[in-house]
Structure 1
Amino acid sequence: MARRIIGVLAAILVVGALVAGVELYLTRPDTPPPPEAALPPPAFLDQGWSAEMREAFYYTPQGSRLLPYAFLLALEQPDGDGLFLDDRHIAATGFLPAPAASPRNPDRLPVGFAKDPAPGGAAGPMVGLTCAACHTGEITLAGTRVWIDGGAAAGDFQMLMARLSKALDATLSDPAKFARFAARLKQDPKAVHAQLEATATEIRRIQAAAFTPVPYGRGRLDAFGHILNAIAAEALGVEANFRIPDAPVSYPFLWTTPGQRYVQWNGVAGNPIGRNLGEVLGVFGHANLAGGNVAAFSSAALLDNLKQLEDWVATLKPPPYPQNLLGPVDPVLAANGAELFKTHCAGCHGGPDYRYTAAAETEGGRRWLAVSMVPQEVVKTDPKMLVNFAGRMAETGPLAPAFGGAPRVPAGGILLLTANAMVENDLRARGITGDARKAYYGWRFAPGSEKPQAGWAAPPAYKTGPLAGIWATGPFLHNGSVPTVYDLLAPEEERPKTFYVGATRYDPKKLGFVSSEEDLSTAEQARAFRFDTTLPGNSNAGHPFPEPRLKPQDRYAIVEYLKILEGPR
């Protein structure tokens, strides 16, 4: 019932926004144009992973359950009879088709799509997303297609969901489509129709709940907005807690994150298992809040796999700048840039002499990268993400006793309570205690404490982490509003007001993707998303550093140094 209510509410919001004259898909075609040619196989940089490790990262399930696995394999595109998972169709939404079938991925699901091990319902096992879907980047370097493991993906989540919903609805409404769909499944058409209707209804609800007046575009998602809706509105069954998830952020790169004291753009995640469970809940990992009985909270998240994924990412290295493809680094310019970086940038970002937390702060003297948390009033970048999270209140409903009877609390408090309870209940049920339990939390414990260390609390601030490998991760700032590092070092008035996201050709001079209308072909523009920094949540203001602003030649020097900046050891 709660899901239907929330879906109706989201649909009402959609209609209201459209009536108000808001363009839902600015510059975005309803049918994404396909790539011009078949995709060549990708190349990889040396990031410390074997091919087997990479494959495991791409396709190990996390507990996300989007729709039946067999349905996704049999589904056609909404506007033709080609399969939904056709390489060119998937690539047009920004996600990465698998280069080849493999034992872990025999049906060539896109990168970051995985079959859930649970048996599933009448339609069989489910398929969902993993962190690889959002954290595997692609760059075209000197004509070579290169994948960046742990990098920022360019997938358009809203386009994917809109296309998926349209494809399911078209299959239901077109007898010929449905006949082909049922034939691929080799099942009774009557039973298939009922299961397909239920799936289409659920995806329709998800797509409506993901509506935003300003589209995310490529490489962005309001993860916290979706997670808080999944917990505080849907799982809790309180429709008044639903909010439009309209503060998208770029997907951060993953290398060095397992060693950081705080993670997430707002630093609120203090331990890896809580963060990773929240990520699963944001991408269709179902939660059960058991009528407010905290001791019975559970989720579909696969904690063993989440811990394993965290361990793998801990071995991931920043991508080395490929001088063989992009040309040699200027040693004189880079040396000048190193001095400028040390003077103007290292105070917040660290490196190469990275700062660590004090050994006395954590059990066993373990030390973590002491990332800086810069208050929004200092960094002055777009505040929407911080405001949405820190200012969002939620009705406690059946959870009121857990909050001392309070009828309303910060929504983040509900997320923290429920995520911690889900983790603890799962570990307790499986008899995981002592050091084994603490390992799941990444050993984020103060000496003598059994309670994991908390994340950043106040004031609202953005995290500034290490910049090794930053060359491969544009666009920049937390909301992806600045296309290149050079532009970020420039005064606000010199930064591009509009640019394209999703083109993969690289700009080694400025460090970022080729993104201007003048430099992209018509075909490249058609496949990309036009980012407008004047729209709400898209501001490219802030980060007024260095002060005073550097001359262009000094900006280029820092850019040159960032190509070879080493990560923490």
Structure 2
Amino acid sequence: MTRIVLFIAFGLLAAALSLEYKRLSLKPWPPESFDDQEMHFKYGSIGAEVNGFPYLIWRELPSIFPEKIPRGYSGFGLISEPDRELPIGISVRRYGVLRVGFNCATCHTSVIDAGNKPHLVLGGPAEQLDLQGYIRFLIAAGSDPRLTAGAVIESAEKNQRPIGFFDKALLQFVVFGKLKEEIASLKTSLAWMERRPGHGPGRTDAGNFWRSRWGLNPELDDAVGTVDFPSVWNQRPRLVGTFHWDGNNSSLDERNISAALAGGTADWLLDRHSIGRVSAWLLDHKAPAFPLSVDAARAAVGKAVYERSGCATCHAPDGRDVGKVSPVQVLRTDSERNTLFSETMVANFDKVGKGYSWQFSHYRTTAGYVNMPLDGIWARGPYLHNGSIPTLRDLLAPASERPKSFRRGCTTFDPIDVGFKCETGFKFDTTLRGNSNAGHEYGTTLSAPEKDALLEFLKTQ
């Protein structure tokens, strides 16, 4: 009799917790927000936590799986500041339970070690971030039978951060069942990754993410859309141009919303106010100044080389073709990303946000890639849209002389060749699909002194 009563009691408790979980999910807590714009960029919510990992579990994963991530989340390139529990780019919000999510700073903040000093670069490409590795770890950890409510509670107590009664009950009776379902669904939706070259740090493939979301079955083909994370500073001058590497959208608002949706938020929870705050801050957020000394005389010579060689036409702020799309046939760079973005994708993007005031309408196909301004170019390596060239000096070499493979994901800056020194990071193979380092063979015939001068000038941009 006692056993039956206990069984009924546990059943009622589980049902009550499930209902409360659903209620909290439908009425999420207010997003984490900061008055300071820089802090808001680094830690504020954009609504992406709704599809995020439960925070109380996420927090304990490094302790439960030290063999998988011996350096914790910093092993994936997430950046932590003193006295902050969460890394830059990670926010927390309660949807049923507390969940972690990405924000804009996740993919657009880097650390560059120059002059024996680390420099935090906000708005820069997160060259050190292994986003694919991080996601694969969460899937592996979430699928591991060792991950249980008991293991999480035990780890939390061991680390002197005990979990309250209500959240403990949710973990035991509701959350883990839902987590296993969410992990299985995520694994299925990302199955396309296994058919393509690894992204490596500093890169992602949002194109195939969208194809999977729309049921276009990217897991059945090998099309590659992997690109480097771009810089997002100085957005005001770019308002008159086009966005994304291939210039497939002319709306800053749509660019930002599509990034937020790809980062995990949902149509109905899109935090346009928060995204708008970040967008407004980035309009005039400046590219970082070169952190080391510059030879002014040599840079002056380099400016003349820059103008005489035609670089300014495509890349100077007032250049004739800056912000415009140059055809792949002219650039001769890797065409995979450009080919992937088809009319079918445009038709599907035009349906995103249907029924909302922000429904997309500006996506288009293009014939190539955008001529980008070179502000902060010293901090934007590796180079080209797919990150296939490690340094600016390598970019000035003929394609046949560029490195066939190199390491990436390191933070040590190379002031001579202008890029990153990396000996132990992810091996990038330019012979793999989508990774070609061909094309953009401009400046390759310059003399060695001219190249040195040009590189010195580019440090000042």
TM-score bin, normalised by smaller chain: 0.7 to 0.9
Shift of 1:246: 3.0
Whether 2:248 is the aligned partner of 1:268: answer yes
Instruction: Measure the CA separation in 1 of the matches of 2:248 and 2:445.
Output: 31
CA contact (8 A) 1:75 1:167 kept: yes
Equivalent residue number for residue 197 of structure 1: 180
The match for 1:559 among 430, 455, 460 is: 455
Match for 2:346: what amino acid? G
Equivalent residue number for residue 99 of structure 1: 82
Shift of 1:334: 0.9
Match for 2:300: what amino acid? A
Instruction: Measure the CA separation in 1 of the matches of 2:421 and 2:47.
Output: 36
Equivalent residue number for residue 117 of structure 2: 144
Match for 1:501: what amino acid? R
In the superposition, relative to structure 1, how do residues 179 and 149 fare at CA in structure 2: closer, same or farther (>3 Å)?
closer
Name the SS for the 1:127 alignment partner: strand
Q: What is the correspondence of 1:34-73 to structure 2 with a 5 Å cutoff?
A: 52-64=36-48, 65-73=51-59
Instruction: Measure the CA separation in 2 of the matches of 1:245 and 1:284.
Output: 23
- Count of residues in Structure 1 that have an aligned counterpart in Structure 2: 413
Equivalent residue number for residue 258 of structure 2: 278
Name the SS for the 2:352 alignment partner: helix
Shift of 1:417: 3.1
In the superposition, relative to structure 1, how do residues 251 and 488 fare at CA in structure 2: closer, same or farther (>3 Å)?
same
Shift of 1:471: 0.4
Q: Deviations over 1:503-530 (max 9, x none)?
A: 2111111111113xxxx3xxxx1xx101
The match for 2:352 among 418, 428, 435 is: 418
Name the SS for the 2:341 alignment partner: helix
In the superposition, relative to structure 1, how do residues 167 and 457 fare at CA in structure 2: closer, same or farther (>3 Å)?
closer
CA contact (8 A) 1:227 1:278 kept: no
Equivalent residue number for residue 315 of structure 2: 349
Instruction: Measure the CA separation in 2 of the matches of 1:125 and 1:386.
Output: 39
Q: Deviations over 1:521-543 (max 9, x none)?
A: xxxx1xx1011111111110000
Equivalent residue number for residue 411 of structure 2: 504
Shift of 1:239: 5.5
Match for 2:264: what amino acid? F
Equivalent residue number for residue 21 of structure 2: none
CA contact (8 A) 2:53 2:99 kept: yes
Q: What is the correspondence of 1:203-352 to structure 2 with a 5 Å cutoff?
A: 203-230=186-213, 232-233=214-215, 246-260=224-238, 261-286=241-266, 298-323=267-292, 328-344=293-309, 345-351=311-317
Shift of 1:374: 0.6
Whether 2:395 is the aligned partner of 1:488: answer yes
CA contact (8 A) 2:124 2:230 kept: yes
Instruction: Measure the CA separation in 1 of the matches of 2:458 and 2:121.
Output: 17
Q: Deviations over 1:183-211 (max 9, x none)?
A: 65441323343244334334433553543
Equivalent residue number for residue 144 of structure 2: 170
Q: What is the correspondence of 1:357-436 to structure 2 with a 5 Å cutoff?
A: 371-390=323-342, 410-419=344-353, 421-424=355-358
In the superposition, relative to structure 1, how do residues 90 and 377 fare at CA in structure 2: closer, same or farther (>3 Å)?
same
Equivalent residue number for residue 394 of structure 1: none
In the superposition, relative to structure 1, how do residues 258 and 222 fare at CA in structure 2: closer, same or farther (>3 Å)?
farther
CA contact (8 A) 1:273 1:303 kept: no
In the superposition, relative to structure 1, how do residues 128 and 411 fare at CA in structure 2: closer, same or farther (>3 Å)?
same
Name the SS for the 1:201 alignment partner: helix
In the superposition, relative to structure 1, how do residues 181 and 258 fare at CA in structure 2: closer, same or farther (>3 Å)?
farther
Instruction: Measure the CA separation in 2 of the matches of 1:489 and 1:113.
Output: 37
Q: Deviations over 1:224-275 (max 9, x none)?
A: 2213322x22xxxx76897667321001111123431211001112112211
Equivalent residue number for residue 157 of structure 1: 131
Shift of 1:127: 2.0
CA RMSD, Structure 1 to Structure 2 (Å)? 2.8
CA contact (8 A) 2:346 2:364 kept: no
In the superposition, relative to structure 1, how do residues 314 and 162 fare at CA in structure 2: closer, same or farther (>3 Å)?
same
Instruction: Measure the CA separation in 1 of the matches of 2:35 and 2:410.
Output: 26
Instruction: Measure the CA separation in 2 of the matches of 1:161 and 1:312.
Output: 28
CA contact (8 A) 1:158 1:217 kept: yes
Name the SS for the 2:181 alignment partner: helix
In the superposition, relative to structure 1, how do residues 315 and 300 fare at CA in structure 2: closer, same or farther (>3 Å)?
same
Instruction: Measure the CA separation in 2 of the matches of 1:193 and 1:417.
Output: 34
Instruction: Measure the CA separation in 2 of the matches of 1:499 and 1:51.
Output: 42
Shift of 1:158: 1.5
CA contact (8 A) 1:321 1:471 kept: yes
Instruction: Measure the CA separation in 2 of the matches of 1:494 and 1:277.
Output: 40
Shift of 1:156: 0.9
The match for 1:538 among 425, 432, 435 is: 435
Query: Which moves more between the two structures, 410-419 or 198-207?
Result: 198-207
Instruction: Measure the CA separation in 2 of the matches of 1:239 and 1:544.
Output: 36
Shift of 1:372: 2.3
Instruction: Measure the CA separation in 1 of the matches of 2:192 and 2:63.
Output: 22
Equivalent residue number for residue 89 of structure 2: 112
Shift of 1:214: 0.7
Instruction: Measure the CA separation in 2 of the matches of 1:70 and 1:174.
Output: 12
Shift of 1:176: 6.1
CA contact (8 A) 1:498 1:531 kept: yes
Equivalent residue number for residue 8 of structure 2: none
Shift of 1:355: 5.7
Name the SS for the 1:417 alignment partner: coil
Instruction: Measure the CA separation in 1 of the matches of 2:143 and 2:117.
Output: 38
CA contact (8 A) 2:378 2:458 kept: yes
CA contact (8 A) 2:148 2:176 kept: no
In the superposition, relative to structure 1, how do residues 202 and 240 fare at CA in structure 2: closer, same or farther (>3 Å)?
closer
Shift of 1:276: 1.2
Shift of 1:468: 1.7
Instruction: Measure the CA separation in 1 of the matches of 2:244 and 2:303.
Output: 27
Match for 2:250: what amino acid? G
Equivalent residue number for residue 15 of structure 2: none
The percent of aligned pairs where both chains have the same amino acid is: 28
Name the SS for the 2:407 alignment partner: strand
In the superposition, relative to structure 1, how do residues 165 and 78 fare at CA in structure 2: closer, same or farther (>3 Å)?
farther
In the superposition, relative to structure 1, how do residues 198 and 419 fare at CA in structure 2: closer, same or farther (>3 Å)?
same
Instruction: Measure the CA separation in 2 of the matches of 1:564 and 1:214.
Output: 35
Shift of 1:98: 3.4
Q: TM-score, normalized by length of structure 2?
A: 0.82
| Residue ranges of structure 2 left out of the alignment (5+ in a row) | 1-33
Name the SS for the 2:144 alignment partner: helix
Equivalent residue number for residue 290 of structure 1: none
In the superposition, relative to structure 1, how do residues 78 and 267 fare at CA in structure 2: closer, same or farther (>3 Å)?
farther
| Residue ranges of structure 1 left out of the alignment (5+ in a row) | 1-49, 102-107, 287-297, 357-369, 391-408, 426-440, 442-451
In the superposition, relative to structure 1, how do residues 540 and 239 fare at CA in structure 2: closer, same or farther (>3 Å)?
closer
Name the SS for the 1:67 alignment partner: coil
Instruction: Measure the CA separation in 2 of the matches of 1:182 and 1:168.
Output: 17
CA contact (8 A) 1:136 1:151 kept: yes
